[in-house]
Chains A and B, each alone.
Chain A
């Protein structure tokens, strides 16, 4: 008996916008110029939001913060492609998607400043709380996607994670189950090359993360994650497929974490400045600005006005954060169960008595 080929696969990569702001005309999607300006505006706002948090952290006004610098294109394009009826299931470096989905910036700040109200999102915002246990959220993406499918909702679950989290068993279990049940799920890997100090080459022997989709019988694609047009196209396709009941998609968005893992990390311990510089030239924000300028959609005056807007908006978030009244001691106990059991009533009363002296 001969050996036969039982399976062959090809994984595609999508790039549309080059480093000089030129687009591939054949691949460029039809987009209203105002929408492209909105892409840019949101990326600038989100970077300002991130930079402010880093400053606050150095001033002792913020806890540990995971910077997103360099990863704005993935998050802005995804958030703007999503509808209100879609669910977002973030990992822990998705502040930009979360804010653009309708969670007030100061609420996100509150989470990282150490306040549980930072995961109390406004009514109607379909968003899971931040998932710190790495990779665990992939499963929720499958579960929410199944939920939407079972209810016949024309909506998608968009779940995010990093390159490191694809090494977790939960990634395998989540994408696998999504494939089996053809759930309404879009899996977005923000491959920023580093899981704290461990590079992608030590996470997997796979040449890409996108190709892992083949093993689950799920469509997969790699995109230049610093190219907002490429992300827009891939995410829009995946969302449409999911909402129409066509099953899940795995998107690997290749990007780079220009900052540290968190404010508790020092990336210079494990990677060279030369490497960072190679990626800095691929920064998604200047790339899109070049496109806008080349197409007469942007100038210095508009840039100045956007900078002012960003500063004012970010300052307003800080003001709102710092105006939040403190949580009372009862807040430790109140949300553990639907009805507080007697032993918690006792513990709460004891703490209250202690605090009130």
Chain B
């Protein structure tokens, strides 16, 4: 343990997590489109092929179902593949392999076979890309039992959560907030460390209203909390980090303390994961609520192209307005 740290972006922290685990565990492989020589379209696998070679950093044919199908075969026979789906908007062709096989192998074989694999997927809007590059499909995977679903919001968590995901004996969907891949740097330890899956963090402490989010929306909530503070409202930011398993105790603890909550996500509002969080709050903290829980979400529409995406994405002012609504109820 050197205790040394470096200031890294989320993308670099993701890369370091894979590099460290590949050094520690020869069964860890990386595969996907452009992950090798190109180092990934977001450079999240930069340098891995140079260190580990093309047998462990595998450029696959351009076929999402194939990437996951190969991963199922590899994972069930002793490897720990870390597969990359280049954008979450491209995951649909792989859904059959993910839902019908990766998520079910342990259960259908009564634990005799497992699929310890990670599927990394950059998700979400805000980078002005072409069509199908901005989607947030977490709800699909959260209503399909058998996966863990993890979303980091900062470089430290990105490395620690990804290492936990790679070491997990369950298939893990690792959603990477591409909008903030390089938005800021943080001190990240050089050594391998874990952030446990299923544990939320209180990213900012407050007393009046809980802002509950994950991934890139955690940053939006931080910004909103600063504005609210100026207006005399003390907001707490709950960064879920892991959507399944969900750290219900931290959510409920925060809401019991503040009595108010706003859930923020990029995915469409209706049937989004925010609805589940509100249902959990209702089941476990209803009598502590001072106001109905608010949601600031994507609209129930197709994700717009670059010109309109700013209007679609939840922003600081909408979160501030929703928080004030709970205060004024």
Q: Which residues of A contact B (CB under 8 A)?
A: 87, 89, 116-117, 119-121, 123, 128-129, 131, 133, 136, 138-148, 150-151, 157, 169-170, 173-174, 176-177, 180-181, 331, 334-338, 341-343
Contacts of B168 in A (CB 8 A): 338
* Chain B 207-256 interface residues, beta-carbon cutoff 8 Å to A: 244-246, 248
Instruction: Report the Cα distance A134→B73, complex, angstroms.
Output: 16
**Within the assembled complex, what's the spacing in Å between the Cα atoms of A140 and B104?**
14
User: Given contacts A120-B110, A335-B111, is CB(A170)–CB(B69) below 8 Å?
Assistant: yes
Nearest Cβ on chain B to A139's Cβ, whole angstroms: 2
In contact, A119 and B73 (Cβ under 8 angstroms): no
A337's partner among B63, B68, B69, B170 (CB-CB below 8 A) is B170
Give the nearest-CB partner of A130 in chain B.
B108
A148 touches B77 (CB 8 A): yes
A169 surroundings in chain B (CB, below 8 A): 65, 93
Contact A147 B61 (CB under 8 A): no
| Contact indicator B245/A343 (Cβ below 8 Å) | yes
Beta-carbon contact of A143 and B73 below 8 Å: yes
In this complex, the member of A136, A157, A176, A331 whose beta carbon has the largest number of chain B beta carbons within 10 angstroms is A136
Say yes or no for B292: interface residue by CB 8 A criterion. no
Cross-chain contact of B77 among A147, A176, A181 (Cβ < 8 A): A147
B109 CB–A CB distance under 8 Å: yes
In the assembled complex, B112 has its CB within 8 A of some CB on chain A: yes
Query: Closest Cβ of chain B: how far from A245's Cβ, in Å?
Result: 13
With A139-B65, A157-B73, A338-B114 given, can you name 16 additional A-B contacts, CB distance below 8 Å? Answer: A116-B108, A116-B110, A121-B112, A133-B101, A144-B77, A145-B73, A146-B70, A151-B78, A173-B65, A176-B61, A180-B61, A335-B110, A335-B111, A336-B145, A342-B245, A343-B245
B72-125 interface (Cβ within 8 A of A): 72-74, 76-79, 93, 96-97, 100-101, 105-114
A177-B70, A337-B106 known; A140+B101 contact, CB < 8 A: yes
User: Which residue of A is nearest B64, CB measured?
Assistant: A173
Chain A: minimal CB distance from B167 (Å): 10
Could you tell me how many residues of chain B have their Cβ less than 8 Å away from some Cβ of chain A?
A: 45
The answer to the question of B60 belonging to the interface, with a C-beta cut-off of 8 Å to chain A, is: yes
Q: How far is the CB of B71 from chain A (nearest CB, A)?
A: 7
Say whether A177 contacts B61, CB under 8 Å: yes
Q: Are A176 and B66 closer than 8 Å at their CB atoms?
A: yes
The complex places the Cα of A173 from the Cα of B112 at a distance, in Å, of 27
Most chain A CB within a 10 A radius of its CB, from B69, B113, B246, B248: B69
Among candidates B66, B109, B198, residue contacting A177 with C-beta atoms closer than 8 Å: B66
Q: Which residues from chain A contact B101 at a C-beta distance below 8 Å? A: 131, 133, 136, 140
Q: Which 5 pairs, one residue from A and one from B, show the smallest C-beta to C-beta distance?
A: A143-B73, A139-B69, A173-B66, A120-B110, A341-B245
Given the known interface contacts A151-B78, A336-B145, A338-B170, the answer about A139 and B66 at a Cβ–Cβ threshold of 8 Å is yes
How long is the Cα–Cα vector from A133 to B100 in the complex, in angstroms?
A: 7
B binding-site residues for A, Cβ under 8 Å = 29, 55, 58, 60-61, 63, 65-66, 68-74, 76-79, 93, 96-97, 100-101, 105-114, 145-146, 148, 168-170, 198, 244-246, 248
Give CA–CA (A150, B56) in the complex, Å: 9
Residues on A with beta carbons closer than 8 Å to the beta carbon of B63:
173, 176-177
Shortest beta-carbon distance from B106 to chain A in Å: 5
Decide if B245 touches A143 in the complex (CB within 8 Å): no
Contact A174 B66 (CB under 8 A): yes
Q: How far is the CA of A143 from the CA of B70 in the complex (A)?
A: 4
Nearest-neighbour CB distance to chain A for B170, whole angstroms, equals 5
Question: Which residues of B lie under 8 Å from residue A173 when comparing CB positions?
Answer: 61, 63, 65-66, 69
| Alpha-carbon distance between A351 and B190 when the two chains are bound, in angstroms | 46
Q: Which chain A positions have C-beta within 8 A of B66?
A: 139, 142, 170, 173-174, 176-177
B244, A139: Cβ atoms under 8 Å?
no
* Min distance, Cβ A77 to any Cβ of chain B, angstroms: 24
* Cβ contacts under 8 Å, A337 to chain B: 106, 146, 148, 170
B contact residues around A147 at 8 Å (CB): 73-74, 77-79
Query: B residues within 8 A CB of A136?
Result: 69, 96-97, 100-101
Asked if B245 and A87 sit within 8 Å, CB to CB, the answer is no
Cβ-defined contact, A120 with B73, below 8 A = no
A274–B219 CA distance with the chains assembled, in angstroms = 71
Choose among A117, A133, A146 the residue that contacts B74 (Cβ–Cβ < 8 A): A146
**Chain A: which residue is nearest B146 at the CB level?**
A336
Q: What is the chain A residue whose CB lies nearest that of B168?
A: A338
How far does the Cβ of A59 sit from chain B's closest Cβ, in whole Å? 26
Residue ID in chain B nearest A123 by CB atoms: B112
* Given known contacts A177-B60, A338-B169, A143 and B109 CB-to-CB distance under 8 angstroms: no
- CB B22 to nearest CB in A, in angstroms, measures 13
**Chain B residues near A120 (CB-CB < 8 A):** 109-112
Q: How far is the CA of A81 from the CA of B245 in the complex (A)?
A: 45
Contacts of A116 in B (CB 8 A): 107-108, 110
Please, which residues of chain A bring their CB within 8 A of the CB of B71? Answer: 143
Q: Which residues of A contact B68 (CB under 8 A)?
A: 139
Closest to A138 in B: B69
Q: Which of B29, B70, B170 contacts A139 (CB 8 A)?
A: B70
Q: Is the CB of A133 within 8 A of B96?
A: yes
A334 contact set on B, CB distance < 8 A: 111
- B residues in contact with A121, CB < 8 Å: 109, 112
Distance in Å: Cβ of A266 to nearest Cβ of chain B? 27
User: Please, which residue of chain A has its CB at the minimum distance from the CB of B246?
Assistant: A343
In contact, A150 and B73 (Cβ under 8 angstroms): no
C-alpha gap A174/B65 in the complex (Å): 9
Among B71, B79, B109, B111, the one with the most A-chain Cβ atoms within 10 Å of its Cβ is B109
Residues of A within 8 A of B170 (CB): 337-338
